[in-house]
Amino acid sequence: MGVFLPGSRGPGAARQVAPEPSASRPLVPAISGRAGAGPLLLPFAAAAVACCRGGAAREPAAGTREPPTRKRRVCTAGSRRQLARPPVGPPDRRTRTKSPALAEDAQPTESEKEIYNQVNVVLKDAEGILEDLQSYRGAGHEIREAIQHPADEKLQEKAWGAVVPLVGKLKKFYEFSQRLEAALRGLLGALTSTPYSPTQHLEREQALAKQFAEILHFTLRFDELKMTNPAIQNDFSYYRRTLSRMRINNVPAEGENEVNNELANRMSLFYAEATPMLKTLSDATTKFVSENKNLPIENTTDCLSTMASVCRVMLETPEYRSRFTNEETVSFCLRVMVGVIILYDHVHPVGAFAKTSKIDMKGCIKVLKDQPPNSVEGLLNALRYTTKHLNDETTSKQIRSMLQ
């Protein structure tokens, strides 16, 4: 398996042999955990850079060398960066002395393949779902005409004929959310199982970590598109009202076989949420923790907090940020960071905003605020309105004011 190459730009790119990473020169950021945890060398950081299409790291100019990073340590307590001497004494048990080689495309190992293949089947359909949602225009004109002229049967038939295929699309989106939920639960089971720590899982199972990040990226993109398209709920509400009226009048409904009453109820609850995909994943993560009581909750929360820290450090550290070749990679990291924060907040007993949280919320919010406002407003709204503990008394006034 090839190592991750900072200069790689796709399958057709010329590949150079990169040296095996070592303790003296890791290829990834050293993330210091809060509450005094030792540095965690996470190849997942480089995976997050490589997994976005076109987002490979920038190749150094010929004859130049990358600046060594072995003495740089990034503090998670804030955005402040400082140079640190190598630690004296025995290493923390969670510290990797040697960071494994990272495949650019994060190919699964034999132990990962079963879960990886199951999740990959779902992710292959994700882009098509987003394209369908982005092109969703709704039947607003036909519905308005039908409502304004209730006695005109032709207009009623025209509106119904326009809405039924759209409801078929909405059904497809909803069913995909159920498949995504199952995929997420499979990944959580693999990335939090004993005997390995969450950090070891992210290092050992890079392909699964990449898929986890891709699910969160898709989720935030889907919800951003849904929130800006009121036609979705308008179309579905009209469909349900018309279907109910048809039943009362004993009129056969063409679309009833497509979405029966029970499914329509579940879909109605799904689309009533401002961020339906994120709500689905939050509920799935909470359910995963409650159903696996023999698994320490820290296995799940530490996995999420570590991913949040990796994304934040890559975004706030010029040394790593400068390797991004396009803004889509930045958007990818931002969405993953926000996604894991929200999942953490729903699962952890005191949430992501408390002082005892392992996520540096001030640093994460600052990273978001440092981006162009129009590009992150949806992500800031997700933190404002889809988290569970933001308004708790344990949340500092400074964090609340940062999100106002």
Express each pLDDT in 136-181 by its tens digit: 999 999 999 999 999 999 999 999 999 999 999 999 999 999 999 9
Helix-helix angle 206-227:153-192, to 10 degrees: 150
Q: What is the pLDDT of residues 179-202, one digit of tens each?
A: 999 999 999 999 998 888 888 888
**How do beta strands 30-32 and 39-41 pair?**
antiparallel
Residue 102 tokens, joined? 């990272």
Tell me what the mean pLDDT of segment 349-378 comes to. 93
The pLDDT confidence band at residue 44, using thresholds 50, 70 and 90, is very low
Rounded-to-integer distance, Cα 214 and Cα 235, Å: 29
Residue 105 and residue 4 in contact, taking contact as beta carbons nearer than 8 Å: no
The pLDDT confidence band at residue 261, using thresholds 50, 70 and 90, is confident
Mean pLDDT lowest among 82-96, 214-228, 367-381: 82-96
Query: How large a percentage of the chain has pLDDT more than 70?
Result: 72
Q: Taking 70 as the threshold, does the pLDDT of residue 105 lie above it?
A: no
SS3 call for 74: strand
Of residues 60 and 227, which shows the higher confidence score?
Answer: 227
Strands of the 72-74 sheet, one edge to the other = 39-41, 30-32, 72-74, 81-83
The pLDDT confidence band at residue 10, using thresholds 50, 70 and 90, is very low
Q: Taking 70 as the threshold, does the pLDDT of residue 345 lie above it?
A: yes
Of residues 87 and 36, which shows the higher confidence score?
Answer: 87
